[in-house]
Copies of this chain bind each other. A is one copy, B any other.
Amino acid sequence: MDRAILLPALKNIATRLRIDSIRSTSEAGSGHPTSCMSMADLAAALFFAEMRFDPKDPHNPDADRFVLSKGHAAPILYAAWAEAGAFAREELLKLRTIGSDLEGHPTPRLPFVDVATGSLGQGICAAIGTALNARRIRSSYRTYVLLGDGETAEGSVWEAADVGSLDALDNLCGLTDVNGLGQSRATMWSHDMDQFARRWRAFGWHAIVIDGHDMGAILDALAEARATKGQPTMILARTIKGKGVSFVEGKDGWHGKAFKKGEEMDRAIAELEKQFVPVPADGPAANLAAHIEKPAARPHAVESPKPPAPPAYTLGDLVATREAYGTAIAKLGDVDSRIVALDADVKNSTFSDKFEKAHPDRFFENFIAEQVMVGSAMGLAARGAIPFPSTFACFLTRAADFVRMAAISNVNVKLAGSHAGVSIGEDGPSQMALEDLAMFRAEPNYAVVYPCDAVSTERLIAEIAYHPGPAYMRTSRPKTAVIYGNDERFPLGGLKVLRQSANDVATVVGAGVTVFEALAAYDQLKATGTAIRVIDLYSLSPIDRDGLVAAAKATRGTLITVEDHYPVGGVGDAVAAAVADAGVTVHRLAVREIPRSGKPEELLDRFGISAKHIVQQVQEIQGVQ
């Protein structure tokens, strides 16, 4: 389209997006209109002159992706999609109401949102994932991600910057809306554009500095980004917060503040309306939405992979569950091209290197950067992959906020954390995950599993891979005996009763390494004539409430949980919450203080979760009974 026609038409759209952002936030009585107004020209250019997408089919696999990393500018995202024809403009006035999916910050309840944003510095990580996904499905779609300038202070942005340039993601284009004002004050660098440019260039991106209200410059920069090969591009757009309304432009104190309905809002909108410029009423410029370039209508593939070969272990063999994890994801990858794995430079400890060896093109190295690893997995998952990011379980806490946002997005990420608990031994507390179960169980929609042997690990990998939504598997460092036959099944929400008799005086519930402590305690107690029931609680969320209650009722109403985890949020809490209304008593053995270095077996004992402590607990209860 002729620029002489296009530019004023885009400017008018930008003005309309500003008006819509003001109107919807004023109606809601809250929101961030001035943060929308600074990026309105960028949004108009992206949606109506750059991106290839179908407003009625945002999930088309070849459609360009747009991630609003500065999620608080949600109103203009919604306005742009309404302008494009995805839904009726009137809906915008329902912003932030309980009956509308147009929430305060974007979530995938809306079909055109890939991942929830609103926690800054996450959208760009997800964008790395959607850009990687284009390679996976051999699509030419591009990913655009719009950041705030204040957001650039988040370290996760620089993790994404490194991965973007290392992976040479020239299908990725970032735009930073440099309006110079944060929430509480001027940002770190205000409008010093060189601060931004030199950082992005140092991190290997092609950086372009422009006036973010110069529509021609925006289009030129987007074209330059498209033409740039071998590296991603960051467009650094100098903008004015509140652009278009003179009494708020560039003023501090207007962050996150809606214009008051009535005189204040009316005055703002009147000012904007004066900025509309004439465009030919009968040409394409009158309705740019109708001229959005659509991707071909490729059918949305439904994959129905064959099941992987069954586990091939021998009872009694010693195999660490972390190693079985590596074998399991590699095997699943053999039969399902959606499976991808992500690492943070510990692939030889988590054994995700087995996946890399089998499927190098679907293995993504993030070096020591857990946030972008999980964030990028979120983007991959949003576009149809089934990603397995893994590292030491304790270092997944580095990405806790991503874990949280993945819950809100309800994306299909399958996290795995190795080296759980004190059983790692000599490396000491900094390397021991003792709160990971609390972190994942806290989220209401994660499946959480914790296998104790190689067979259950492999079976559970397939279970969580095809369970819709996020999931977490906890694995252990020490080698443990294979105790299940290769045909055994492990449905989510189940448990295994490993030992039982009619005379059991208590049920001991273990998971992971403590299953073996429970089995050892069983043997020791048996030698003294005392029988206990032993349960392997491999599934923590969902949890087999009925199975636990039945075991408790059959064993004098007594459950003893034992876990290589702090007492809060782990096995004990899970069991106690599940059986809360059943009138049974739960005794908890857990790690109750900050541990230290030592041999694994010394630590299990010192911190109260070894067979000896189980035996003592059983005997203590018997004394009472």
Contact status A183-B430, CB under 8 Å: no
For chain A residues 160-192, which have a beta carbon within 8 Å of chain B? 162, 166, 182-185, 187-188
Contact status A30-B426, CB under 8 Å: yes
The answer to whether A347 has its CB under 8 Å from any CB of chain B is yes
Q: How many copies of this chain?
A: 2
- Chain A 107-118 per-residue mask, 1 if CB under 8 angstroms from chain B, else 0: 101000000111
> Which chain B positions have C-beta within 8 A of A346?
183-184
Contact status A96-B154, CB under 8 Å: no
Indicate the member of A153, A431, A581, A593 with the most B CB atoms within 10 Å.
A153
Q: Which of B201, B569, B585 contacts A573 (CB 8 A)?
A: B569
Using CB atoms, name the residue of chain B closest to A30: B426
The answer to whether A483 has its CB under 8 Å from any CB of chain B is no
Q: Which of B347, B439, B592 contacts A184 (CB 8 A)?
A: B347
Contact status B367-A150, CB under 8 Å: yes
The answer to whether A594 has its CB under 8 Å from any CB of chain B is yes
The answer to whether A20 has its CB under 8 Å from any CB of chain B is no
Indicate the member of A151, A347, A435, A566 with the most B CB atoms within 10 Å.
A435
Contact status A151-B368, CB under 8 Å: yes
The answer to whether A328 has its CB under 8 Å from any CB of chain B is no
- Min Cβ gap A622→B in Å is 15
- Min Cβ gap A282→B in Å is 41
The answer to whether A53 has its CB under 8 Å from any CB of chain B is no
- Chain A 445-472 per-residue mask, 1 if CB under 8 angstroms from chain B, else 0: 1000000000000000000000000000
> Which chain B positions have C-beta within 8 A of A314?
none
> Which chain B positions have C-beta within 8 A of A30?
425-427
> Which chain B positions have C-beta within 8 A of A199?
202-203
- Min Cβ gap A353→B in Å is 7
Interface band, chain A:
35 or more
Using CB atoms, name the residue of chain B closest to A31: B426
- Min Cβ gap A593→B in Å is 5
> Which chain B positions have C-beta within 8 A of A583?
585
- Chain A 77-103 per-residue mask, 1 if CB under 8 angstroms from chain B, else 0: 000000000000000000011101001
> Which chain B positions have C-beta within 8 A of A591?
444
Q: Which of B118, B400, B574, B603 contacts A400 (CB 8 A)?
A: B400
> Which chain B positions have C-beta within 8 A of A203?
199, 202
Q: CA–CA, A44 to B109, complex, Å?
A: 58
Q: CA–CA, A153 to B165, complex, Å?
A: 13
> Which chain B positions have C-beta within 8 A of A576?
573, 576-577, 580
> Which chain B positions have C-beta within 8 A of A184?
343, 345-349, 353
Q: CA–CA, A401 to B435, complex, Å?
A: 10
- Min Cβ gap A209→B in Å is 14
Contact status A438-B155, CB under 8 Å: no
Contact status A394-B398, CB under 8 Å: no
- Min Cβ gap A210→B in Å is 20
The answer to whether A404 has its CB under 8 Å from any CB of chain B is yes
Q: Which of B201, B410, B426 contacts A202 (CB 8 A)?
A: B201
Contact status A442-B202, CB under 8 Å: no
> Which chain B positions have C-beta within 8 A of A359?
none
Using CB atoms, name the residue of chain B closest to A29: B426
Q: CA–CA, A37 to B405, complex, Å?
A: 41
Q: CA–CA, A439 to B349, complex, Å?
A: 26
- Min Cβ gap A613→B in Å is 16
> Which chain B positions have C-beta within 8 A of A597?
96-98, 100, 103-104
Q: CA–CA, A158 to B153, complex, Å?
A: 8
The answer to whether A371 has its CB under 8 Å from any CB of chain B is yes
> Which chain B positions have C-beta within 8 A of A117?
430
The answer to whether A602 has its CB under 8 Å from any CB of chain B is yes
